[in-house]
Amino acid sequence: DAKTTQPPSMDCAEGRAANLPCNHSTISGNEYVYWYRQIHSQGPQYIIHGLKNNETNEMASLIITEDRKSSTLILPHATLRDTAVYYCIVRPRRDKAAGNKLTFGGGTRVLVKP
């Protein structure tokens, strides 16, 4: 799986958009970008994923650069409940469960301030 680099922490004002960057310069053509987050003392929560097109769902938007070497997760209107560690993961889609284990790096610790 390709290595990812994320800033260790960032602050965001409540009600503003939070833009979380992720670098994945060694990404392969068949690798997807996934985002999960983990609120303190809870299990990780899936947010969104994409291959090359930008994606949006009810939680967030994912913007992937044309060369696919980096991406940005956008939380459009951050709330205090969005305070969490956000993990960017790059890996191919695998059919067998054996290949689907998740490995989280350090992630970005996001603090949403009132």
Interface residue list for other proteins (CB under 8 A)? 32, 34, 41-46, 49, 93, 95-98, 100-106
Which CB sits closer to other proteins, 20 or 35?
35
Least distance CB 53 / other proteins (angstroms): 15
Which CB sits closer to other proteins, 12 or 107?
107
Angle at 55 between CA 49 and CA 57, to 5 degrees: 85
φ and ψ of 67, to 5 deg: -85, 0
Rounded (to 5) percent helix, strand, coil in the chain: 5, 45, 45
Least distance CB 63 / other proteins (angstroms): 19
